[in-house]
Each structure stands twice: as structure tokens, then as C-alpha cells.
Amino acid sequence: MDNLRHVNAGTLDDAIRAAGENAQMIAGGTDCLSILKNRLLPHSPEVLVNLKTIPGLEYIAEENSGLKIGALTRLCDIVASRVVRENYGILADAAKSIASPQIRNMGTIGGNLCQETRCWYYRCSPFTGRSYFCSRKGGRVCFAVAGDNRYHAILGGKGCFAVCPSDMAVALEVLDATISIKGPGGGERTIALRDFYTVFGTILKQNEIVTDIHIPHPPPGARQTFLKFRLRKAIDFAIVSVGSMITREEGVCTDARIVLGAVAPTPVRALAAEEAIKGNIIDAETAQMAATAAVAGTRPLSMNAYKVEITKALVKRALLL
């Protein structure tokens, strides 16, 4: 690991000032340290800016407008929170599905949203004797297109077919969350979670920091569900995940939010699937219609067409639970 200058930021402004062109920010460190140790970045950072020393960014607070969570809040605290489990259960379920207890005890919600993709071409360390200067690193080729693309995008891939690795992003999109970001000069902005991701990662600039996440109150009585398919129940990242929030009146679906994860570079709102069940009683037939609508327009690569069937199965299962 290269020599780094380590800065313990006392305030957000301290962190922003330290986050120059060749700096890397660290919160829980569960992803960042792996990236640095394996020298995955095209240019190794010279400065490591520690965000854990900034007070006031680790909290879960219910307000009149909904739930507010500080970006440094650990995943284990989200799982354990009574208010989250009772009113925003999909968030607790998504957090509990992440990795292992050790990772959840260190990882933060902000870090989970901002983590780098798990694409093995992007993650291939030069220590293996070969690395890939892919489009995500500034190159011109997504090596997954003609390579081993078992876990890559079946939707929305353009230039890069790596999928968004964040489970929390799926749950937060279901809950219609917004993210607050602070930049230099005291500048602050709040954006919808759906606008936070691009094909190549997040919209964050080098000297911007996610400070907190705001979640509006869910509709009364809405059923929240998070499902995740992976090869091993513990540790593994999602091959496909589905989050849903369904509101019913007298058995009829009056509103729905269905979000697909690990199938595209961003979380994907399955609008056609939502429309298939609105105004209907959700039974096996309507759930199957919604599942089919959810994968309309998918364009699998050479080795990942199986993800289409998994997506359909998870959507149907989520609706029938």
C-alpha cells in the first residue's frame, strides 16, 4: 500500500478543503481500503481524508416530514433501530442483507451508496499480473461486453455494463428518498436518489460529501418488501434484488413502487410493472403480468440472460408475499 497522508477531518469544511484532486475519502473503510490495497485506481491518492471524526453525521431521527439518517450511520444501527424496523422496514431488511455482521458493524449508509462497482474487470488488481483500463477508469472499452459478463447489466448499459452494487439504494428508491450533499464554499444541494447515479457511478464531485438521507413517511398501511438473490446467503452481493412498496384499499392496489437492483448501472424503477397492478387485486395472474412487464426492454449480454428469469421470479414473489 502506498504511503498516504492521513487527515482526520473535524468538520465537513475541513474534509472538503482536504479533498483535493488527489485525495480519497474514507468512512467505514470496508470498500475504500480494499481499493487502495489492491491499487485499483488509475492514480493512487496521496491523501486519505477520514470522515469518521466529523461529529453529528451518525444519527437516525424521525421528524414531522419523515426519517432523517446521517451519512455516517452504521448499517448495524439501521438494522437495530426500532423506528426503522416499524415504519421503514424495507430499509432494515436491505441493511441486514448486506455482507456479514463484521461489515455491517463498520460500513455506513453513505459508504454503501457511494461504493465502487464490483465488476471484476474494474476490480482486477495489477498485482495479478494484469489490469484493465476500462471505460469506467477513463478508457474506451467495457471489457464485459465481449468477456465474462455473468453478473453484469441486462438494462441500461451504455459504455459501462457494471451494475450498481448498493442494496440501500434500492430500498431508498422504493421509499422515494432524497440525498443532501455539501460542497466547497458552504454550497449544499438536495437531490432525489434516482438522480444520484449515472452509468459510471455517482454524480459526486471530488470535493463533495453526502451528509444525510431524508425519507418521507410511507403511505399508511403500505407493505414494504426487499428480496435479494445471491449465490451465498451471507457475504455475496446481489445478482438481482427487488424492492417494493404496495398500498391497497379493500384488496385493490391503489399505489405501487417497484425497484430493481443489480440489473443495471443504476437502480431501475419498474414503472410498467407498477401500472400492471394498479387498480387491480394482486393475485398470481396480475403478479405474473407485472413480472413480465418489469423485464420488458431487457437486453442481456452473452452470459447473463438467466438474470431476466430471476428478476421475474423476484418481482412476482414480492407482490404475492
Q: In this predicted structure, what is the pLDDT of residue 234?
A: 77
Domains of the chain, first to last: 224-320 (3.30.390.50)
Q: pTM, whole model, 2 decimals?
A: 0.96
pLDDT tops 90 at residue 224: yes
Q: Tens digit of pLDDT for each residue in 250-308?
A: 999 999 999 999 999 999 999 999 999 999 999 999 999 999 999 999 999 999 999 99
pLDDT tops 80 at residue 2: no
Q: Average pLDDT of 112-130?
A: 94
Helical (H) or strand (E) element with 105:
helix 101-106
Q: In this predicted structure, what is the pLDDT of residue 22?
A: 86
pLDDT tops 70 at residue 1: no
pLDDT band at 21 (very low <50, low <70, confident <90, very high): confident
Pairing of strands 188-192, 178-182: antiparallel
Q: Average pLDDT of 130-141?
A: 93
Q: Which residues pair with residue 269 across a beta bridge?
A: 259
Q: Let me know: does 82 contact 39? Beta carbons within 8 Å.
A: no
Q: Let me know: does 245 contact 223? Beta carbons within 8 Å.
A: yes
Cα 212 to Cα 58, 92, 174: the distances in Å are: 9, 17, 17
Q: Let me know: does 272 contact 312? Beta carbons within 8 Å.
A: no
Alpha-carbon Rg of the chain, whole angstroms? 20
Q: Tens digit of pLDDT for each residue in 67-112?
A: 999 999 999 999 999 999 999 999 999 999 999 999 999 999 999 9
Q: Please tell me the chain's helix, strand, coil percentages from 3-state DSSP, rounded to the nearest 5.
A: 30, 25, 45
Beta-strand runs (E) in 95-208? 178-182, 188-192, 197-198, 201-202
pLDDT band at 42 (very low <50, low <70, confident <90, very high): confident
